Amino acid sequence: MRQTIELRVYSSRHGRHMDEWSLMLGESQHEMDLIKVYPECRLQRIIGFGGAFTEASAHVFARMPEGAQERLLRAYFGSDGARYTLCRAPIMSCDFSLSPYSYHLRPLDAGLRGLDLSHDDREIIPLIRRAQALEPTLELIASPWSPPAYMKTNFNRRLGGRLRRSFYGRWAKIMARYVAHLAEAGIPVTRLTIQNEPEARQIWESCIMSGVQEASFAAERLRPELARAGFGDVKLLGWDHNKQRTLERARSAFDDPAHPDALDGLALHWYSGDHFEAVGHVRQCWPHKELIASEACEAFAGTGARLSREDELAAAEHYAHDIMGDLNSGVSAWIDWNLLLDERGGPNHVGNFCAAPAFFDTTGRRFGDSCKDGLQLTDTLAWIAHFSRFIRPGAHRVLVTRCADDIEATAAMNTDGSLAVVLLNRQGQTAKHTLCVHMGERDLCGDLSLPGHTIMTVSCKGGLLGYAA
């Protein structure tokens, strides 16, 4: 008897998200126009997807009416939303804070008696707790933008400068206390990056560190402090910067003969372009290390109006392209930047405004009355959800091959045996192909038509393919 299986298809285009229908696959000998999926070819394990709990996001959230707050939380963390499970938080202030702030200001206070982490208790931690109510498995990766000014060579949290070696120990203690502070609030920090963008001298909070310095700080100071505080299982990631120097940073950090195992992996940003080949080479050379895409956002100068159709769709497609490219290069997790911003793309204490998947109009004009509650959920959030809702923590990416470049594709097998195949058409015309799932000696195939500027997830329930998780 010829085998057939029924898959569910979910597609999104601008302004219309997650339309659902069925696709039947049957045994076939198709040879042309194929997109082939090999569920038996397991690749890297997926850790999760998420965004960042910045002070900017938390402050805008606190100003929203309760109904809009609930709609935003469900869209990000609800069972019918993006189902985020891995998010990021800054340690002390970053550019997307209301103003610069430090947990510690007293250089002579070696015992840290003046350490005060309460700033984050006002709006950031309450927002994280609201998210946890919908997604109890939520965990954080935390990143510092700069140590306190007195610890640095330029005595300024801005404009680069370096962490003075004499303060390595104290800064490590503060980072460990941050992890403990969030644990006391019931929020698990499972990963730390050593320094956000360690080769960038920014007008906002920034600090320069080499790969060798990151490894030395991690091995000699931070890891011992975390262990003493009871958090020895927290993973430490280096770089947290753009992909074009991923290979160079991997070599300097992972091949440091003094500290070869200091770092558990690298975190990556997208601001210098794709560079998927460099990421893939790092995955090949250091397969035991984690690679996490930790930050991405689009530039934006808010006008008080909704995003245009063209800008909204272009941002969503850029996100999907980057997520696919990163996953296919060996990245295990993908984290967006701000969860939420205001109508300007802020607040931001240096005017470095950016876009986000969600905006709220704090002026009360509701983006010219185009949003009934003032909250705009953009295409970007829906496009991310095509990955995060269907590719769950613990999944393994599986091999996908394509006949042409008009469709981009990635796929993963979840721990329950379900398969998710994500397809993206960034072209203006419809792409027609045959989707084939390889099953031992057979191919199960079905014809797919993917309209221009559309993203699609094809989902197969666990057990239908007969593969163990």
Give the model confidence (pLDDT) of 138-179 as tens digits: 999 999 999 999 999 999 999 999 999 999 999 999 999 999
141/173 Cα distance (integer angstroms): 17
244-259 residue pLDDT tens:
999 999 999 998 889 9
Three-state SS sequence of the chain:
CCCEEEEEEEEEECCEEEEEEEEEEEECCCCCCEEEEEEEEEEEECCEEEEECCHHHHHHHHCCCHHHHHHHHHHHHCCCCCCCCEEEEEECCCCCCCCCCCCCCCCCCCCCCCCCCCHHHHCHHHHHHHHHHHCCCCEEEEEECCCCHHHECCCCCECCCEECHHHHHHHHHHHHHHHHHHHHCCCCEEEEECCCCCCCCCCCECCECCHHHHHHHHHHHHHHHHHHCCCCCCEEEEEEEEHHHHHHHHHHHHCCCCCCCCCCEEEEECCCCCCHHHHHHHHHHCCCCEEEEEECCCECCCCCCCCCHHHHHHHHHHHHHHHHHHHHHCCCEEEEEECCEECCCCCCCCCCCECCCEEECCCCCHHHHCCCCCEEECHHHHHHHHHHCCCCCCCEEEEEEECCCCCEEEEEECCCCCEEEEEEECCCCCEEEEEEEEECCEEEEEEEEECCCEEEEEEECCCCCCCCC
Answer whether residue 384 shows pLDDT above 50.
yes
Q: Are 319 and 337 in contact (CB under 8 A)?
A: no
Highest mean pLDDT of the ranges 311-325, 361-375, 431-445: 311-325
Q: Which CATH architecture has domain 48-388?
A: Alpha-Beta Barrel (3.20)
Give how far Cα 354 sits from Cα of 44, 275, 302, 332, 379, Å: 31, 22, 8, 25, 16
433/446 Cα distance (integer angstroms): 9
pLDDT band at 1 (very low <50, low <70, confident <90, very high): very low
Can you say how many angstroms the Cα of residue 403 is from the centroid of all Cα atoms in its chain?
29
Nearest CA to 142 out of 101, 93, 193, 104 is that of 193
pLDDT band at 308 (very low <50, low <70, confident <90, very high): confident
201-237 residue pLDDT tens:
999 999 999 999 999 999 999 999 999 999 999 999 9
Q: Are 400 and 409 in contact (CB under 8 A)?
A: yes
Average pLDDT, the chain: 95
Q: Are 362 and 304 in contact (CB under 8 A)?
A: no
**Which contacts (CB < 8 Å, 24+ apart) does range 159-163 have?**
159/201, 159/202, 159/203, 159/206, 160/200, 160/201, 160/202, 160/206, 160/207, 160/208, 161/206, 161/207, 161/208, 162/207, 162/208, 162/209, 162/213, 163/207, 163/209, 163/213, 163/217
Q: Locate 204 and state its tokens.
A: 């906002």
Enumerate residues 6+ apart whose C-beta is below 8 A from 248.
211
pTM of the model as a whole: 0.97
319/321 Cα distance (integer angstroms): 5
- The pLDDT score that the predictor gives to residue 466 is 67
pLDDT band at 467 (very low <50, low <70, confident <90, very high): low
Provide the residue ranges of all domains of the chain, joining segments of one domain with +. 4-45+394-460, 48-388
State the average pLDDT over residues 344-368.
94
- Of residues 392 and 461, more confidence is placed in 392
Answer whether residue 302 shows pLDDT above 80.
no
Q: What percent of the chain has pLDDT over 90?
A: 90
Q: Are 37 and 435 in contact (CB under 8 A)?
A: yes
The one-letter code for the residue type at 51 is: G
pLDDT band at 307 (very low <50, low <70, confident <90, very high): confident
226/292 Cα distance (integer angstroms): 21
Enumerate residues 6+ apart whose C-beta is below 8 A from 170.
110, 112, 151
Nearest CA to 294 out of 454, 190, 77, 142 is that of 142
Answer whether residue 468 shows pLDDT above 70.
no
Say which range, 176-190, 247-261, 374-388, has the weakest mean pLDDT.
247-261
State in Å, rounded, how far the first CA of the chain is from the last one: 26
Q: Locate 424 and state its tokens.
A: 């993206």
The dotted CATH code for 4-45+394-460 is 2.60.40.1180
